[in-house]
Structure 1
Amino acid sequence: MAKPSVVDAHMHLYDLNHPDLFYEHLQNPDFVHPLIGPQLGKLAERSYEVSDYLADIEGHGVDKSIHIQCAMGSEDLADETKWLQGLSDEYGHPHAIVGEADLCDPQVGRLLERHCQYENFRGIRDFGSDDYLTSAEFARGFSMLADFDLVASLDVKWEDMEKLAKLSESHPETLVVLDHAGFPTERTQEYFENWQRGIKRLAECESVYCKVSGLGMCDNAWTTDSIRPWVVHCLESFTPDRTIWSSNWPVDGLWSDYGTMIEAYREVLSVLSERDQGKVFGGNAERIYRI
């Protein structure tokens, strides 16, 4: 049986020599990633370009890619989108771009218009801060994404999933993708049960999708069996209709090679029908990102 085609719905490229882009997490020597820690420094040793990504995915059936915001601290947030569109025009990857914006900014609409000048722009990633999910300012910017036909890519841990559920229920017109299965930071049974409840609550919102990826960030010695319960619960809660696979490359490349990673997910997802595997590995991403 042929393997289903793949859309890698969460990958990153970065040019450390680009004059208009800055990568705070890679170029600021004082920055310490709250989850990955000093290991992230290995990624700062050189740029990660389209040619590197194409070499990593070669032979693994990846047909399309979606770039998720990587630059942090650039003066003009639309510059990364401009750069990525140029790469897509030249190399064919990435097929969609999710960029950065502060959705609490009362002038965010102007930035969204500038992002949307580029053909492949499809969404906004906003890390937020403090209790942003309950703020009126964020809700305004969040609801505005639907006017631009953009997806909200959000990093929300289980502690805040109820808040995101209420926000999504108030603004069901805005599509949400929960990044990295909600960034599970621990592997204790208590944490897993709390996370399960949060995922199940979020799955009640039909406008929310769940991205299964990035599980190596807090489980560096991961195995197929160690990621299985997390992926299975996402599938059971969101169903294959609202679950999206992605690689989180090259970040998860710190602990694996691309082939080992994708084959582990293929094994976990092999319990699904071929049709449902196709949804998770590509069809859902193609639909909501319009690629």
Structure 2
Amino acid sequence: MLFDTHLHIVDRRALTYPWLAGAGELNRDSLYEDYARDAMRCGISNVLHMEVDVAPERIEDETNYVREVSRHPDCLVRGVVAACRPEDDGFAAYLERSLGDPFVKGFRRVLHVAPDDTATRPLFRENIKRLSATRMTFDLCVFPHQFETILALVDQCPDVRFILDHCANPPIKSGMSDVWRKGITEFARRSNVTAKISGVIAYGDLENWSVDSLRPFVEHTIEGFGWDRVVWGSDWPVCTLGGGLTPWVAATHALTAGCTPEERDKLYQANAKRIWSI
């Protein structure tokens, strides 16, 4: 069974997504019901919803929307990784409210769409440090040119549990780069970082990717972090750009075919259950 740590629900009737206007094929509703049919057929048994960069004033509305979805019979959603703005003065109060809400499992601020200096700002770093020794994780969604800045953030917050999304967005289509390869190695040296095996089919040739084209990037990530510090995610609906949920699940099984049952179980579900206490 698979624990999907990275589902996006998009409902334009309920919430506001400023970025969608420039998102091409993703500028559409992507509802839980559309995801669930394939997810259950693929053996997905638990899901975390990943924030979808809604308008800042709708951040808490997004959490409440997903909470209502999770109450539907047989829903797979167990919690949310909520959006946040650690660069803003209101983060401390928002964190306190969220700590009282067991449905919120962690936070994410998409940094590759923010100014590159966002993670260097004193208030941002001070607020991320507030997550130290809490149950909250912080997802990192960054591009390779930001690695140095983000590694410095991780080093300044050694008691915060970071999740590195999408194998750190590797340059699959253009080929392995030293910046990405060495960056993964550096992130893996930080024991407070876990890597998420997700999103990679969106960085390859969308129409012609293959398991072999993904393998060097996935294997380098897992080799660096080890089986105890990797989790799996679908990145639905972004994965539909490269064929959809079912091909990505099939690729995941192919990529791990030579691994032991214990290793596969750690990646597929056990590590996620442990990290988020589910």
Q: With the length of structure 1 as denominator, give the TM-score of the two structures.
A: 0.87
Query: 1:158 offset after TM fit, Å?
Result: 2.0
Structure 2 counterpart of 1:96: 79
Report whether the alignment pairs 1:114 with 2:110. no
Structure 1 counterpart of 2:4: 8
Quick check: 1:157–1:182 contact (8 Å CA) kept in 2? yes
In structure 2, C-alpha distance between the alignment counterparts of 1:205 and 1:148, rounded to whole Å = 18
Report whether the alignment pairs 1:259 with 2:246. yes
Query: 1:239 offset after TM fit, Å?
Result: 0.8
Query: 1:60 offset after TM fit, Å?
Result: 1.3
Report whether the alignment pairs 1:54 with 2:40. no
Which residue of 73, 83, 91 corresponds with 2:65?
83
The unaligned stretches of length 5 or more in structure 1 are none
- Per-residue CA deviation, residues 37-84 of structure 1 (Å, 9 max, x unaligned), is x3333xx1xx22222121121221111001100142152311111111
In structure 1, C-alpha distance between the alignment counterparts of 2:272 and 2:199, rounded to whole Å = 17
Structure 1 counterpart of 2:51: 69
Quick check: 2:4–2:47 contact (8 Å CA) kept in 1? yes
Give aligned-pair identity as a percent.
26
Which residue of 131, 146, 164 corresponds with 1:145?
131
Report whether the alignment pairs 1:248 with 2:248. no
Calculate the aligned-residue CA RMSD, in Å.
1.8
SS in 2 for 1:216: helix
Quick check: 2:172–2:214 contact (8 Å CA) kept in 1? no
Quick check: 2:53–2:110 contact (8 Å CA) kept in 1? no
In structure 2, C-alpha distance between the alignment counterparts of 1:177 and 1:136, rounded to whole Å = 21
- Per-residue CA deviation, residues 224-262 of structure 1 (Å, 9 max, x unaligned), is 111111100001100111111111011111221322210
Which residue of 182, 204, 207 corresponds with 2:189?
204
* 1:7 partner amino acid: F
The unaligned stretches of length 5 or more in structure 2 are none
Q: With the length of structure 2 as denominator, give the TM-score of the two structures.
A: 0.91
Quick check: 1:162–1:201 contact (8 Å CA) kept in 2? no
Query: 1:135 offset after TM fit, Å?
Result: 2.2
In structure 2, C-alpha distance between the alignment counterparts of 1:148 and 1:209, rounded to whole Å = 16
In structure 2, C-alpha distance between the alignment counterparts of 1:218 and 1:268, rounded to whole Å = 17
Quick check: 1:102–1:126 contact (8 Å CA) kept in 2? yes
In structure 2, C-alpha distance between the alignment counterparts of 1:85 and 1:115, rounded to whole Å = 13
SS in 2 for 1:72: coil
Report whether the alignment pairs 1:184 with 2:202. no
In structure 2, C-alpha distance between the alignment counterparts of 1:257 and 1:194, rounded to whole Å = 29
In structure 1, C-alpha distance between the alignment counterparts of 2:130 and 2:152, rounded to whole Å = 17
Q: How many residues align?
A: 272
Query: 1:271 offset after TM fit, Å?
Result: 2.1
Quick check: 2:237–2:244 contact (8 Å CA) kept in 1? no
In structure 1, C-alpha distance between the alignment counterparts of 2:119 and 2:12, rounded to whole Å = 32
- Per-residue CA deviation, residues 156-185 of structure 1 (Å, 9 max, x unaligned), is 222222332232222111000011111124
